[in-house]
């Protein structure tokens, strides 16, 4: 199975969507982490991955 990952970094929240090739969608949402927004991206991807049972 393949996955598409998209992340949106905003001022308040960082959102990630993981879409599986079978049409299943998983969502992760965390607070943004200025000044190091990369940490928010990682946390958001981790959150979405957790909803799909991955770690």
> Domain segments of the chain: what residues?
3-51
Residue 12: CA count within 13 A, CB half-sphere: 0
- pLDDT above 70 (res 55): no
Token pair of 39 as six digits: 């940490």
Tens of pLDDT, residues 14-44: 999 999 999 999 999 999 999 999 999 999 9
Torsion from C-alpha of 6, 13, 45, 42, nearest 10 degrees:
110
d(CA 17, CA 7): 6
DSSP assignment string, 14-25 = EEEEEEETTS-E
């Amino acid at each position: 199975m393949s996955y598409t990952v998209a992340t949106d970094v905003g001022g308040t929240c960082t959102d990630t969507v993981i879409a599986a090739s079978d049409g299943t969608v998983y969502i992760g949402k965390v607070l943004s982490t200025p000044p190091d927004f990369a940490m928010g991206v990682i946390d958001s991807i981790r959150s979405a991955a957790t909803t799909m049972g991955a770690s």
